[in-house]
Homo-oligomer: A and B are copies of this chain.
């Protein structure tokens, strides 16, 4: 049997416990998982792509089958280049669901052979997002239950530094 390869794309600005949960679940099923930090967002990021990649690397050191890369351009081009059979995405709420449907539908038009799999996040992270974490951290709120310790530290530094 051939290797099963998946891409887990995202902004990861910064990685939360919810993202980490999805990445680990993908790494449990697939032989190799590429975490693709998307570089083409129009929004003003808090962390640079390099900082985001470094934070992901630090919180996934226990997993030998995870590769962290950045990607600009079309996700489907990236997935083809990695010979991935699948894109894995976390699903939280209804609005996520619809946006993801749009993206997935478009990706199928571009390449019918790369499947998108959705995984449900752990219940306790159902309503978690990078933006809400940044909003709270900005006002000095405690985010230690929502992001790995190293990310909590990086957020503190960004806002107080």
Residue ranges of A at the interface with B (Cβ–Cβ < 8 Å): 1, 3-4, 25, 28-29, 31, 40, 73-74, 76-77, 85-86, 91, 93-95, 97-98, 101-106, 108-110, 113, 115-120, 122-129, 132, 136, 139-142, 145-146
- Most chain B beta-carbon neighbours within 10 Å: one of A98, A101, A120, A122: A120
A132 contact set on B, CB distance < 8 A: 102-103, 106
- Contact: A124 with B124, CB < 8 Å? yes
- 30 A-B interface contacts by CB (under 8 A): A1-B3, A4-B4, A29-B117, A40-B139, A74-B139, A74-B140, A74-B141, A91-B97, A93-B98, A93-B102, A94-B97, A97-B97, A101-B120, A101-B126, A102-B127, A102-B128, A102-B132, A104-B120, A104-B127, A105-B123, A105-B126, A105-B127, A105-B128, A106-B136, A109-B145, A110-B136, A110-B142, A123-B123, A123-B126, A123-B127
